Amino acid sequence: MTENLNVLQSTQFVVEKALTLLGYPQVMIELLKEPLRMMTVRIPIRMDDDSVRIFTGYRAQHNDAVGPTKGGVRFHPDVNEDEVKALSIWMSLKCGIVDLPFGGGKGGIICDPRTMSFRELERLSRGYVRAISQIVGPTKDIPAPDVMTNSQIMAWMMDEYSRIREFDAPNFITGKPVVLGGSQGRETATAKGVAIMINLALLKRKLPLLDTRVIIQGFGNAGSYLAKFMHDAGARVVGISDFYGALYDEKGLDINSLLDRRDSFGTVTKLFTNTITNKELLERPCDILVPAAIENQITSDNAERIQASIIVEAANGPTTLAATKILTERDVLIVPDVLANAGGVVVSYFEWVQNNQGYYWTEAEVHAKLQVVMEKSFENVYTIHKEKNIDMRLAAYTVGVQKMAEASKFRGWV
């Protein structure tokens, strides 16, 4: 029954289950199942050939009871209102799980950056900030990178916001280049966090990391750095993929060479002829499977054939609820997205803190602090999963919703 729900509906389904389990009334479910604010903007952009194109963008602010909202901006042709809303709810859950003083936000623009020039992208990034400037800001809503946006785009957005407000505002956005107030370790933070989760999951299952077979779907920011970390730690990365296809080798892939040859959009398989499909890759033999690309990749169609005993979700929403049920019954340990990929928002928070205090940390300091937060969060969720005998996703959601539900109550909203 849950298989036909879209990403927003399935997120709402688990949020409702978590709040009910915690004993909150129906009105709390009503409050938290949709963002408090959802802004749709139309952005006219002068293209290089002098024509004008109108782009549609969104900014969702799920709940700001705990603090300002925080979350990335996605540039992708498939961006839509429900996806942005779901992503903003996931951000709220993540901030709750890793205990940050933020609520969740998310933004997106319907566009394909792969077909746009550097200057067209700059005009679009600046136009988006002008369009949403009234509802964002360092103590209101703090954007960050997401799929197909990067530190250059964050730099343009920060510059545009600073111009509008007429003061320098590095704390308006995170994921900036280091010279503009970006944090050491932000670029690799999501992958670092996922790597920490893999180590903890292996410990729970009493499995070694050395020579463990890993498949990673997606070779962009999250997937490619993770492949490097796993390879360097002695695991055997047997499969990787991108939008165009996948590579699999039981003996292990040459990760360093693939990293050298991938382009800035995380594409590398086009250079090979011995590729398989993304669908085939997910079902190949491995111990750990890391979806690090897009939503709805593991469904009731393929869950029975997944061979991994541990799935760590670097991507947002890669596994449907029906697949979660099948895999949990098969005793596959799933580390859910809202926990597994929270390293990115943790270091984004560190970046915002450093910008506010004007004092910057070393990469080693950032990693040490990230390690502490991720370990504590994993243990917290895992304990609830065991104690309440509920799956890891529901356990993570119960941790994630609790702080914002309590904050909403104390503010007198509910």
Binding site residues, ligand NAD, CB under 6 A: 146-148, 190, 217-223, 241-243, 266-267, 278, 292-294, 314-316, 341, 344
Alpha-carbon Rg for the chain in angstroms: 20
Classified as helix, coil or strand, 71 is strand
Parallel, antiparallel, or unpaired for β 103-110 and 141-145? unpaired
Nearer to ligand NAD, 132 or 314 (CB): 314
Nearer to ligand NAD, 211 or 263 (CB): 263
Residue 188 in tokens: 């690799």
**Cα torsion angle, 414, 9, 23, 390, sign:** negative
Distance between CA 202 and CA 186 in Å, rounded? 25
Nearest approach, Cβ of 107 to ligand NAD (angstroms)?
12
Nearest approach, Cβ of 106 to ligand NAD (angstroms)?
9
Nearest approach, Cβ of 167 to ligand NAD (angstroms)?
28
Q: Is 325 a catalytic residue?
A: no
Nearest approach, Cβ of 222 to ligand NAD (angstroms)?
4
Type of residue found at 186: R
If we measure between CA atoms, which residue out of 378, 369, 372, 327 comes closest to residue 351?
369
Residue nearest to ligand NAD (CB): 220
DSSP string covering 191-242 = HHHHHHHHHHHHHHTT--STT-EEEEE--SHHHHHHHHHHHHTT-EEEEEEE
Residue 389 in tokens: 């005998």
Nearest approach, Cβ of 183 to ligand NAD (angstroms)?
12
Distance between CA 116 and CA 137 in Å, rounded? 27
Q: Maximum CA pair distance of the chain? A: 62
Distance between CA 189 and CA 319 in Å, rounded? 22
Distance between CA 111 and CA 124 in Å, rounded? 9
149 with 72: CB under 8 angstroms? yes
Nearer to ligand NAD, 102 or 219 (CB): 219
Nearest approach, Cβ of 217 to ligand NAD (angstroms)?
6
Candidate list 70, 106, 176, 192, residue with the active-site label: 106
Nearer to ligand NAD, 237 or 407 (CB): 237
91 with 104: CB under 8 angstroms? yes
- Measured in residues, the chain has a length of 414
Nearer to ligand NAD, 218 or 239 (CB): 218
Nearer to ligand NAD, 241 or 355 (CB): 241
The residues that are catalytic are: 106
